[in-house]
Chain A
Amino acid sequence: MSDTAVEALSLNAITKRFGELTANDAVSLSVNVGEVVALLGENGAGKTTLMNILFGQYTADSGTVRVFGDTLPPGNSRAALDAGVGMVHQHFTLADNLTVQENITLGVQSLLNPSLGHAAAKARIAALSEKFHLAVAPDARVGTLSVGERQRVEILKALYRDVRILILDEPTAVLTPQETDNLFATLRLAIAEGLSIIFISHKLHEVMAIADRVVVLRHGKMAGAANTKDTDQNALAAMMMGSEASPPEVSPAKPGPPLLALRDVTTPDVGSVPGLKSVSLALKAGQIVGLAGVSGNGQTAMADVVAGLLNPTDGDVEMGHETVKKWSPRIAVESGIARIPEDRHKTGTIADFDLVENAILERYKSPDFSKGGWLNWRKSRAFADGIIEKYDVRCPGSSTPIRLLSGGNMQKLILGRVLEAGPQIILANQPVRGLDIGAVHYVHSQLLAARDRGAAVLLISEDLDEVMALSDVIHVIADGRLSPEFKRGEMTPAQLGLWMAGQGFESDTAHAS
């Protein structure tokens, strides 16, 4: 950032509209050689759109992109790649049935080339893996890789092309803290090689850790810019949110009678993912139960049992004090269980349905929305419009297909759909995954409010901080087994971490069952 800095990239007054939504409004940005610029903003602020324009996947309505002084033709990914711009997409652009090497070398050579040059490519991938600490097996099928490994393949794909500017879109959203540290180490190696990096994120501490400069977007407009050494997280949060952000206050819980209980529930293992092993759990009115644990230790089975998707092979589900004979998603919904599913794209919404249809998806049979087998569109639309208004779902209107919404706004609609039904029991599975702080605080405050009006909440999260902040009672799940109940403040993160690693169960088997 000295005066002699060489400009690698500049975006000048980019404007892009989707229908009535202005995703980018005259946004400008520049990056110098060897510099890391973070693009910070809430979900729906227009970060990804801006980067897709830079990478030629969208065509801007106005504005220009310049790379090392040359203007890029709009809407041409090839030109962007040739100019040395590489992008690691948030939703990876990898073909699962092809190998790592095939994904990396795709389109690098001329299509008229008679040979793939297999051996040379493999050697080059090995060299890059070594240099940037990106361990991958070149012959493995991408479909068999973990999320962290897939991201390494995405980064290698860019490095293989000798990119000079690397764009990373929310790269840490899918990583464990350990993997995030490794990613940062790789990025520092890349900077040392003279690459420039644009790092898109809404996690303030990561931005402070890796970036030289921060540009903040809000509602598609530039909200500010700062050098990280001259600013702090609070100031950035304020820029991003438009006001100071603070987590919701937690008042003491007043637990009531158990509404839903699992008694010695066992479910089958699915492949290498364990099922539940004789698990007992009570969800009480007016209480948030947090389920902490490393991903893939039986959380999905737990969520599926509570949601009615999975019937225990052994043990009982009790509603109130009665054992449920037949358990299905419909019975669960009709019994007042509301669900915030883990994957809002796959199981939470139907992408091409509009907001009205998605809002009534779980309860279209209820007399609120249908009569005699006919849907009442007027009431349904009013319901959806109510959610949009009350939960601040940013969208062009209720007849928009939900796939056009950002993740945060999608989650707000799901939250509204869940809470407006006045549920007795709320299953919140990873409710804030991939959301920015503003949305996180909002979802949390809504869950706390639901608790305070007497709902029982089961919070499943891989984020220990979230579980500890919100839960009145915490259980740890490890390898399908459930720890005893810990009260708020009873355990330190380190102690819970030991349970998450599976220790504690051995010394305390009687208590755990």
Chain B
Amino acid sequence: MEIIEILFTASFWAAAIRIASPLIFATLGELICERAGVLNLGIEGIMVAGAFAGWMAVYSGTGLWTGVCVAMVVGMLFGLLHSTLTVPFGLSQHVVGLGVTLLATSSTYYAYRLALPEVTSPPKIEAFQPFEIPILSDIPLLGPALFSQTPLTYLAFVLVGVVSMVLYRTPLGLAVRAAGENPAAVAAQGLSVTAIRMGAVMVGSGLMAVGGAFLTMSAFDSFFFEMVNGRGWICIALVVFGSWRPGKALLGAVLFAAFDALQIRVQQTSLGTLIPYQIFLMMPYILSIFALILMSRRAEVPAALMVPFNKGER
């Protein structure tokens, strides 16, 4: 069986981890927003904006890490827009989210055309290079798969732990979770629900933008239209799949990425000549839907997700 053989190649797992990385950033971002009670459908557009902003910054001469920070700041600004409309004004989170996606996507394309009016193919940058972690990268199979990635991938995995620690081990994380469960409880303890929710949406949006920047600065070295290609929507599903927990969301992201990496490879096997390649393209999505159905039955949705909170109303 060729498929079994594929599963035991380091290059397959390396690809899976690489494909998972942007999903991890953005899923963590969405998870933070939703844990605070705000559904952020601006994710797709914010990833586009982050992809462009980070790449453009590096193209204009900044360092790679500065580029990541620029992407983060751009994401946070869109998060500020989103949360201003949804938190203090309490507007529909669906409508605002889709609006932010449309605005972020189209204004990014506009900015691209303004910045590079003449070019036919987008210029390349010197992207993040794989960094082999000494000793660990020599482990057979695991080493090349896990420990020969770019620094941004390592950052994604570290962030899963950091977000998990903050959410469950700090007063700040407790306040964020409580804001998503019962904002009245937060207000009754003298905290500002508005500040907590806006802060969570801004940080979350910043992470989404870094997820987008991963595409132009680590996975590829250039910016294309349509390159985010629905990854944001996948992350919304991954948050549900992960039951709003960072660890499980990481698992979901890697699983989805593994399906994706697998289908590309299966296309090149003997099966690929028999079956139209579109079937393989569908595979990760179909499997995700099934996994989602199985997992989300037990999911514990934050009780106040999408419920606006207005102090002093009864």
Contact = CB atoms under 8 A, between A and B. Distances in A.
User: Are A and B subunits of one complex?
Assistant: yes
9 contacts: A58-B312, A59-B312, A81-B190, A95-B185, A103-B178, A107-B189, A113-B172, A115-B169, A403-B314
B181 interface: yes
Nearest to A117: B171
Interface stretch (A86-94, A362-370, A483-491, A497-505): A86-94
B219 interface: no
Contacts of B178: 95, 98, 102-103, 106
A97 interface: yes
Interface stretch (A72-80, A191-199, A464-472): A72-80
Interface in B166-184: 169-172, 174-175, 177-178, 181-182, 184
A445 interface: no
A78 B177 CA distance: 19
A222 B186 CA distance: 32
Interface residues of A, number: 38
A114 B190 CA distance: 20
Interface string A106-128: 11111111111000000000000
Chain A contact residues, majority secondary structure: loop
B139 interface: no
A105 interface: yes
B268 to A, nearest CB: 46
Q: Which of B171, B181, B184, B312 has the most CB of A within 10 A?
A: B171
B169 A57 contact: no
A404 interface: yes
Nearest to A87: B188
A96 interface: yes
Interface string B276-314: 000000000000000000000000101100000001101
Nearest to A403: B314
B181 A97 contact: yes
Contact of A111 (B169, B172, B300): B172
A59 B181 CA distance: 25
Contacts of A97: 181, 300, 302-303
B189 A106 contact: yes
Nearest to A81: B190
Nearest to B302: A97
A114 B189 contact: no
A112 B172 contact: yes
Contacts of B116: none
Q: What 7 pairs across the A-B complex have the smallest Cβ distances?
A: A78-B190, A107-B189, A95-B181, A93-B188, A95-B182, A81-B190, A111-B172
Interface in A142-188: 157
A82 interface: yes
Contacts of A87: 188
Of A82, A105, A106, A157, the most chain B CB neighbours within 10 A belong to: A106
Given A98-B177, A102-B178, A75 B312 contact: yes
Interface in B153-212: 169-172, 174-175, 177-178, 181-182, 184-191
Given A95-B182, A96-B182, A114-B170, 11 more contacts: A75-B311, A75-B312, A77-B188, A77-B189, A79-B190, A98-B174, A106-B178, A107-B186, A113-B170, A113-B172, A115-B169
B174 A116 contact: yes
A109 B171 contact: yes
A81 B182 contact: no
B311 A57 contact: yes
A31 to B, nearest CB: 20
A115 B174 contact: no
Nearest to B171: A109
Contacts of A404: 314
Interface string B127-171: 000000000000000000000000000000000000000000111
Given A57-B312, A95-B178, A95-B182, A89 B188 contact: yes
Given A57-B311, A106-B175, A96 B189 contact: no
Given A106-B175, A111-B175, A115-B169, A93 B184 contact: yes
A46 to B, nearest CB: 12
Contacts of B302: 97
Given A95-B181, A110-B171, A114-B170, A80 B190 contact: yes
A21 B182 CA distance: 28
Contact of B303 (A93, A96, A102, A116): A96
B240 to A, nearest CB: 16
A77 B183 CA distance: 13
B185 A105 contact: no
Contact of B182 (A57, A77, A93, A116): A93
A82 B182 contact: no
A75 B187 CA distance: 11
B312 A116 contact: no
Contacts of B189: 77, 81, 106-108, 157
A333 to B, nearest CB: 30
A81 B187 CA distance: 11
A116 B170 CA distance: 5
A333 B263 CA distance: 58
B190 A77 contact: yes
A102 B187 CA distance: 15
A113 B312 contact: no
A144 to B, nearest CB: 13
Nearest to A109: B171
A107 B172 contact: no
Contacts of A115: 169-170
Nearest to A88: B188
Contacts of A79: 190
A87 B169 CA distance: 27
Contacts of B184: 93
Contact of A57 (B175, B185, B187, B303): B187
